Structure 1
């Protein structure tokens, strides 16, 4: 089971869109995929077309990580209504906020790791959609993960946030979870004709070297359309959707290849 946190320390960069794109790639490849919606905004749960029903949420699981609670918080994605495959969601909730504290006990920081130990035989790929902060929810997610995928955009503030994210991953690896590493940073929402965007992309390449995942992801209306209709991009019609799907396939391949990228490389 490959466990990846999808993170950004700046909001509004399309983190959940990237999470759903990678989940779509996993779905297309036939991987048993679980998306854990750590973000209190719960956009990933919406994008996966999940019917809440009587399901519990991540908040219930973090408060009581018993096997029965964990199972009751997992729901099938609506993506599978007309297409075979396994895509599940552990449902997000605004109640997640109660766990997003700046200070965690040793037991609390390992809470999500404890949860995933119960699910290890059930999934090939687990994606944790984290809130855009470095408080308790993100640190619980990172501690349970093999890799952190940092989502950024070509702007001044996002460059600084990416630098903070890499530094925080390295610090958590040294202090808490030796297996944790940064998978890299994917630059999202790029407008190829923008001089400012190209300047920031070049700046990130110079600063972060091979931690920048190539190629950057262009801003595409089709991603908003697919997400808005709760449809995986791999099933959305049109050439633009095919191009976007190919980029997420490449991102999934990087996740599966699991090439370590050391601190400062």
Structure 2
């Protein structure tokens, strides 16, 4: 899950997909690569006294992976978190030679038993985002229907293409998730049409509507599927539909 513009709800979409995966009974690992570690917090992952994703990138071994992976409080079983940390920022430097970008990919080779791995990248083009993309089979770009966010999609697409020609030849763009959509906004409708013109079928349906229920559930460290109300039910169905689309992609992770 990547975005080159902050504030578009990339982590919220990651959490919504994790909620859908849990609801569908898919054993899921969420990798929190964002130094803000918001996914780790929202997933209720205990962070006392164990390693984290920074330690994994320092030493991508089976033992470090084991120590840095903890269960989410969302469920008794089936959803784990590779713990995020501000310390991961030291891995965000971009090396012109691409050195070190395969650390997470190597670390994930030590884990098994998951049906799905979701990687939440920081909102930048630095080393952490590139590391996350190199470790993935499919890239999801999260945006919102605004001018600067639409421009950032193009930069993300170019980065994915660059990595495909180098460090990640098997990486494919799964598509663009449009978040925080307001159905009555004329400006947003224009930007949505612009996205469809530029990227065609890569603009995934359905779009994620702007609903306070999503932030409320995450603030309470609960999956949106467990949150009461019609808005949460609407969002739950949206994320299930998006996850189904993602799982139809061959080799998706």
Asked if 1:201 corresponds to 2:192, the answer is: yes
Equivalent residue in structure 1 for 2:31, among 30, 36, 51? 36
Partner residue of 2:65? Answer: 70
Tell me by how many angstroms 1:105 deviates: 4.9
Q: Which ranges of 4 or more aligned residues in structure 1 deviate by more than 2 Å? A: 104-107
Residue 118 (structure 1) aligned to one of 110, 113, 117: 110
Is 1:247 equivalent to 2:238 in the alignment? yes
SS for the counterpart of 2:194 is helix
Residue 235 of structure 1 deviates from its aligned partner by 1.1
Look up the match of 2:150.
159
8 Å Cα contact 1:74-1:89 kept in structure 2: yes
Structure 1 residues 53 and 38 mapped into 2: Cα distance closer, same or farther (>3 Å)?
Answer: same
Where 2:74 maps in the other structure, the secondary structure is: helix
State the partner residue of 1:3.
none
> Are 1:21 and 2:12 matched, yes or no?
no
Distance in 1 between residues matched to 2:129 and 2:220, nearest whole Å: 28
Contact (CA 8 Å) 2:98, 2:167: kept in 1 or not? no
Superposed CA deviations along residues 191-224 of structure 1, whole A, max 9, x for unmatched, are 1111111111111111111110012111000001
Aligned to 1:12: 7
1:225 pairs with 2:220: no
Kept in 2, the 8 Å contact 1:104–1:136? The answer is no
Aligned residues of 2:206 and 2:241 also touching (Cα < 8 A) = no
Give the TM-score normalised by structure 1: 0.92
| Change over 3 Å in CA distance of 1:98–1:111 after alignment to 2 | same
Structure 1: runs of 5+ lacking an equivalent: 1-5, 261-265
Deviation of the 1:102 alpha carbon: 1.7
Q: Matched residue of 1:170: which SS?
A: helix
Deviation at 1:61, TM superposition (A): 0.6
Deviation per residue, 1:17-75 (Å, 9 max, x gap): 00000000110111110001000000000110111122211001101112111100001
Change (3 A) 1:74 1:104: farther
Shift of the alpha carbon at 1:11? 0.3
Deviation string 1:128-147 (CA, Å, 9 cap, x unpaired) is 10000111101111111000
Aligned counterpart for 1:213 among listed residues 198, 201, 204:
204
Query: Aligned-pair distance for 1:243?
Result: 0.8
Unaligned ranges ≥5, structure 2:
none
RMSD: 1.3
TM, length-normalised to structure 2: 0.96
